[in-house]
Chain A
Amino acid sequence: TSTFDYSAYHTLDEIYTFMDLLVAENPDLVSKIEIGRSTENRPLYVLKFSKGGTNRPAVWIDTGIHSREWVTQASGVWFAKKITLDHENDEGLAAVLEQMDIFLEIITNPDGFAFTHSQNRLWRKTRSKHSGSLCVGVDPNRNWDAAFGEPGASGNPCSQTYHGPYANSEPEVRAIVDFVKSHGNVKAFVSIHSYSQLLLYPYGYTDTPAPDQQELHELSGKAVAALSSLYGTKYKHGSIITTIYKASGNTVDWTYDQGIKYSFTFELRDTGLYGFLLPAKLIVPTAQETWLALKVIMEHARDHLY
């Protein structure tokens, strides 16, 4: 993995090969877990970074739930390598790994990702088919059992925000739900999207403030400040519904309602010209700055275990 080109976009196969190499190079730190299969029967892999122990408190990070947001999967690759490089030398990360495991799902929506490479670069959803509609796919960020199907998602299968026939209908979502529930000790959950330059916390389905709103707001503010310190990239932070719009059935509302207090969703670069067609030369700077924010969240979770 030392010669892998982190400043380029890669296909699904290349990223899966990268994961295998990373595991092979770091057998005492990294392992690969298959948590399920996608609609088209692709494996859903999670990298586990652990220094031992059983069922330790955990941080979950996922990238690429919306397949066309290529900078997120590319950043996930970079994060994985970064953890292996810094796990001993970086005091903060080392301290996190002394107490916690990190789970990283780099390709959360592999069917969609493969489709973006072969058919439609701008595909966002899963690739599931539904009776009675010619349209394919469900928005996996509206498919969670948190005010599922309520305003803030679409019932139209052709919409980009189609919530699906029922909560957890998408195997990509179901796999995470099952994993999080069976693990039972996830303390921080960060789901990464692009491109709006935001760091958001629950709720999306209601404007009732989350019970931990004050702490989440302060923490996201610190995370955004750390992010901006590297390249001056401007981020906003706040609850989903007050910062962007109402979004029912979304990932981090579900995780928060499961008791995972430190639930956040990122929107990475950029709000400028390119959007989903972000030039590859911006991958590494985006990942570098995001990593600083992730570290703030992880270290806070470690220092405030509950």
Chain B
Amino acid sequence: FETFVGQQVLRIIPTSDEELQKVQELQELEHLELDFWLSPRGLGSPVDVRVPFPSLQPLKAHLEANGISYSVMIEDVQALVDEEQSQMLRTPRGLP
């Protein structure tokens, strides 16, 4: 089982062409293993990216160094996965 402990989903909304380009460049940084849930589409459109724990601080530092604001959309991905799994287990399973 892969776990998502310590992983977060960040939301970035590029507000200038420069910011948009910087965010697009993140897709090329494969060593960060970023998972774009919503890829960069244009100014004002949200970009949601799941960030593995080891990449969290480097990415946040990179964004802050470039003056790109972001918000934490999902604080703890594993907690949500756990909640979903427990909901599935609570649901009456099987078919008549």
Please indicate the chain A residues that have their CB under 8 angstroms from the CB of B96 in the complex: 3
Annotate B51-95 by CB proximity to A: 1 below 8 A, 0 otherwise: 000000000000000000000011001001100100110011111
A217 to chain B, nearest CB (A): 18
- Are A5 and B91 also in contact (CB < 8 A) when A122-B50, A160-B36 are? yes
Looking at B4, B30, B36, B95, the one whose CB has the most chain A CB atoms below 10 A away is B95
Question: CB-defined interface of A7-23 with B at 8 Å, one 1/0 digit per residue?
Answer: 01100001001100100
In the complex, the answer to whether A159 meets B30 with C-beta atoms within 8 Å is: yes
Q: How large is the interface on A (under 10, 10 to 19, 20 to 34, 35 or more residues)?
A: 20 to 34
Q: Contact flags (1/0) for A143-162 with B, using CB distance below 8 Å?
A: 00000000000001011100
Closest to B36 in A: A160
Q: Would B37 and A275 count as touching, CB distance under 8 A?
A: yes
Which of A3, A119, A196, A273 is close to B1, meaning CB atoms less than 8 Å apart? A119
- Count how many pairs of residues, one from A and one from B, have CB atoms less than 8 Å apart in the complex: 68
Digitize B24-48: 1 where CB-to-A-CB distance is under 8 Å, 0 elsewhere. 0000001000011111110000101
In this complex, how many residues of chain B approach chain A with their Cβ under 8 Å: the count is 29
Q: Name the residue on B nearest A9 (C-beta).
A: B88
Q: Is B12 an interface residue (CB 8 A)?
A: no
Task: Give the distance in Å from the alpha carbon of A245 to the alpha carbon of B87 in the complex.
Answer: 35
Are A121 and B84 in touch, CB under 8 angstroms? yes
Chain B residues, CB < 8 A from A17? 95
Is the contact region of chain B dominated by helix, strand, or loop, or is it mixed?
mixed
Shortest Cβ distance from B73 into A: residue: A273
CB distance from B56 to the nearest CB of A (A): 16
Asked whether B93 lies within 8 Å of A14 as measured between CB atoms, the reply is yes
Nearest opposing residue in chain B for A196, CB measure:
B38
Given A9-B88, A122-B50, A277-B84: A18 and B95 interface contact (C-beta under 8 Å): yes
Q: Are B39 and A245 in contact (CB under 8 A)?
A: yes
Cross-chain contact of A277 among B35, B81, B92 (Cβ < 8 A): B81
Which of A8, A156, A158, A271 interacts with B38 by CB under 8 Å? A271
Q: A8-B88, A243-B41 are in contact. List 12 more A-B contacts (CB 8 A).
A: A5-B91, A14-B95, A120-B1, A121-B4, A122-B4, A122-B50, A160-B36, A271-B38, A275-B38, A275-B73, A275-B74, A280-B87
A residues lining the B interface (CB < 8 Å):
3-5, 8-9, 14, 17-18, 21, 118-122, 156, 158-160, 195-196, 243-245, 271, 273-277, 279-280
